[in-house]
Chains A and B, each alone.
Chain A
Amino acid sequence: MGTVKHILWRLLNIVPVLFVVSALTFLVGRLTPGDPIEAQFARDHTPEQIEAIRASYGLNLPLWEQYVKWVRDLFTAGGGMSIVQNQPVFDILGPNFVNTLILTAAGVVICAVFGVLIGVIAGTAHHRLPDRLAMLLVQAGSNLSVYWFGLILIWIFSLQLGWLPVGGMESRNGGGLGDLLAHLVLPGVSAALISMLVLARFTRLGIIQESHSDYVRTFTSQGVPRRRILGKHIGRNILPAVVNIIGLEIGTLITGVIFVESVFNWPGIGTQLVNAVNGKDYTLIQGGVVLVALCYLLVNLVTDLAVDALNPRLRR
C-alpha cells in the first residue's frame, strides 16, 4: 500500500515540474530575439504582410493568452499548429518520438550489456592485461566526438565493407524487423558509446572496491568459489548503483541521440527539434521540450523505484 501511495505522490509531483518547464520554455522562446514568421518571410514579404501572417497564427495576442491557448491545444488540438510546418505538433513529433525511443532502447541495451561486460572483465582482471586494454579503450573512446565516430562507422561498415546501411530506418526495397535491426546497429553503437564507457568505469570501480571489502576476504578464506562471490555477493551489492547509472544515462541518451540522428539520418525527435529551433517554431519547440521533460521525469521515477526494489536496506 505504501508503495502505491509513494508512486502516486511521485506522479503528482510531475505536474508542477511540467508546469514550470512549459512556462519557462514558452517565455524563453518569446523573450529572446527572433520570430518564426519574420525568419521565414522577411526576405520576400513586406512588414505589413508579415504582421498579417503573424496575426493569422494568433501571435499578436497578449503573451498570457497565447500561453493559455497553447496549454489548451496540448490537450485538445494535438499540441497546436506548427508555425513553420503548418501541421499539428503531435502529428510531427509523435512518429518521430517513437523512432527516437526505438533508437534509445537500442542504445540502452548496447550500453547495459557491453558496459557491464567491459566493466566486469576489467574489474576482475584488475591490474592485468585485459584491464589495461579495456581501460585504454575506455579512455580513448570517452574522448571521441560522437559525430565523428558516426561518420567513421559509416565509412568503414557502409561505404567500404557494404555490410550495413548508411542511414535512415528502411532500405530502398526493405522493411521488416531484420531491416530495422540492420539500420539500428551503427546509430545504436554511436549513441551508446559514451554512456557505455561511463557504465564500464563504474562497474569496474564497484567490483574493485567490493573485492577489497572484508566480507569478500572472509568468503575467500572460507573457500567460496570466486565465481560465486562475484555473482552472488559483489554483483548483488553493486547492482543498485549500476541500475542508477543506467537510469541517468537513459536521460543522457535521449538528449544525446540528437547528434546521432543527424549523422545517421534517423527520423527522430532530435532532428525535428533542431529544425524547430533553427526556424524558431514556438509551438514545435514547446511541444518537444514538454515531451522530452515528461520522458525524463518518468525514466527517473522508474529508476528510483527499481533501485528501491533492488536495495533491501531501502525496502519499505
Chain B
Amino acid sequence: MRPTKRGRLVAMGIAALVSALVLAACGGGNGGGAAAGPQGAPKAGGTLVSGLYLEPLALDPHRQAYWETYRVSSNIFEGLVKEELTDTEGPAKLLPALATKWSVSDGGKVWTFELRKGVRFHDGSEFTAESVDKNVRRVHDPGYAFYDKTSAARLSTWFADLVEGRVVDDHTYEFTFAKPFLGFPRILAQAMSTLTIGNPATWEKYGNDGFADHPSGTGPYTFVSRAIGDRIVLKKNPAYWGPKPYLDELVFRIIPNNQTRLAALLSGEADIISYVQPDDVATLESRGFQVPAGHGAALLYFTFNFKNKAFHDKRVRQAIIQGIDRAQLAKEVYNGNAMPLHSLQPPGNEAYDPQARDFGYDPEGAKALLKEAGYGDGGLSFTIVADVANQNLAEWLQSRLKAIGVNVKVVTLDRPNYVARAFGKPEPDDGLSIDEYGGSYAEWLHQVLYTNIAAKGLDPADFPEIRDAVDEARYTGDEDKRIELWRKADQKVREAAIAIPAVSLTRYYGLGPNVRGFVYAATNWYDLTKVHLAG
C-alpha cells in the first residue's frame, strides 16, 4: 500500500525522465519574458520580492550569522563604515556610512571616528556617540545592564583586544586597542561578529532577547513584519540620511526548495532569487531572465586532520596537494562553474593575489614524496569526512588520490554530525575535511588558521614562521605594508602546505526581466538600494 522500495525507484526513474523533458521544453521555448532592455532613467516605487534559499537568523546586529541574514538585515542596520557594492571585481572600496571620517593614531592602536550628524534611528531618536557607546558596551562591558553574553562571545573575534571605547563628544567616538589594528575599518564593514549599529532604545525596551522581534537601526529600510518560514517585509525609510532607495517595499520570501524557488521566479512571484543552481542558468537565460554570476569573497578548501600523525609530515601534505588537479576538479565536479585557487585568500579579498601559487599538479612528484615519507603504493590510507552536500567532491578526491597510491574512505554526514566529527572529535584515521567560507578582509587568513584549522588540531606554535608572519601582518602599524605582509603570511602558509585551497564556486542570482540596477559585487551580499523596476 505504501510506496515500496521498487516503486520508489520506478517513480524516481520517471521523475528523472520527466525532469529532462521539462528542461528540454523550457530550454526550447522562445522566451516568455522580454530581454533585459537598455537602462532607462530609474523609476522610483514598487515592491521587490526576493526569494531566499534559507531562513535568515535573528535580525540583531550583534547576533546575526549567515550571509542570507545579512542580505536582509543590511537594509535595516548600518555600520560606521561600509563597502562599496557596485564593483564586480574586488576588493570593494571602503565608504563612510554612520561615520564620515576616521583616523588612526598611536601606531595603529587608537581609532577616532567622526560620526554623521542628523542621522535618526527608525523610532526617531537621534544617533550620537552615546548610541555607539551603548552598542560597544552591549558586546564588551559586563557592567552594562544590557551586556549580551552571546553577542560578546561572537564579537570577541575582533574585539578581544579592545581596551576602551570612549565618547569624545556628541559626534566623535574613539576605540583604543591593546595592539595595532589597521584592518579595523574594513572589519567594521563586515556582516558578522562586528559592530553593526542597532538602536539601543530597542534593547533597553524589549531586552536583548526581544531585539530581533523589533529590529531597529538607521538603514534605508524599516522593519514591518516577519513570519518565520514565510516572509520578512521591510518598507522604505522616509527619514533616511543618505540617497533614497528606489523601491518602496522589500519582501523577502523564504523558499528553500531549489525547484520551487526557480518556479517562483519563472512565474513572476519573485523578482530576485539567490542560489540559482548552475543547471538552471540556461533555462532562465533563454526565457529572458538575467542571471548575474560572480564569486563573492569565499572559497572551498580542504583541511588536514592534524590530530592524525601522518599529516605531521610536510611531505605527506604536499603530496596530497600535488595529487589534486584543481582545474580538472573545477571542470569535472562543478562543470566549469568554479575557479581554481591556490591560496586561502579568495578573489574579492583585499589581499587576494591572482599570481599566488602553492604546489602544482604533479602526480609523479606526489608519489615520490610519499615514498620518501615511508608510504609506498597503498601505504597511506585515511578517511575524508564531508557534509552530504559535498559527497560528489569527496568521491572525486577519492578517485584522484587513488591514482597516487593513497587509499581513501569517504564518510558523508549531515551538517551537525559533520561539524561534530570534523571540528570536534575526529576518528584517528580521518584525513581531510571540506569547508567553504571567506571574506573580503585580509584578517580572514588569521581567522581561518585560528578557528577552522586550529580546530582540526593545528597549533600555530608548531609553525613559528607562520605564527610570526601572521602576527606581523595583523599587528603592523604601517598601512603601506599591511597588504604585502598578509600576502607574505599567506606565502608561508602555502609553503608549509597547511591546507588545500581548492576552488571559488561561481554563484548565480536570478533576476526578473524588469529588474534593473542589480550588481553582483565581489562579496557575499548585495546592495538593494540601487535596484529599481522597469516598466
Contact = CB atoms under 8 A, between A and B. Distances in A.
A159 B266 contact: yes
B156 A52 contact: yes
B19 to A, nearest CB: 8
B280 to A, nearest CB: 13
Interface residues on chain A, size class:
35 or more
B415 interface: yes
Contacts of B266: 159, 166
Interface in A23-74: 32-36, 38-47, 49, 52-53, 55-57
Nearest to B255: A265
A233 B454 CA distance: 75
Nearest to B26: A159
Given A57-B150, A158-B267, A168-B253, A148 B421 contact: no
Contacts of A35: 416, 419-420, 424
B419 A42 contact: yes
A43 B227 contact: no
B58 A87 contact: yes
Contacts of A167: 255, 260, 263-264, 269
A43 B228 contact: no
Contacts of A151: 15, 19, 259
B169 interface: no
Nearest to B192: A44
Contact of B157 (A45, A47, A155): A45
B58 A44 contact: no
A197 B423 CA distance: 47
Interface in B1-27: 1-4, 7-8, 10-12, 14-15, 18-19, 22
Nearest to A278: B415
B3 A142 contact: yes
Interface stretch (B173-181, B344-352, B444-452, B503-511): B444-452
B65 A40 contact: yes
A165 interface: yes
A119 interface: no
B60 interface: yes
20 contacts: A33-B417, A39-B419, A46-B450, A46-B454, A85-B58, A142-B1, A142-B3, A143-B8, A148-B11, A148-B14, A151-B259, A166-B267, A167-B255, A167-B260, A172-B268, A201-B1, A265-B254, A267-B230, A275-B55, A278-B416
Given A92-B229, A144-B11, 9 more contacts: A43-B437, A44-B447, A49-B154, A53-B153, A87-B228, A99-B229, A159-B263, A265-B255, A267-B227
9 residue pairs, one from A and one from B, having the closest CB atoms: A34-B416, A143-B7, A267-B230, A86-B58, A52-B153, A56-B149, A267-B229, A280-B416, A56-B150
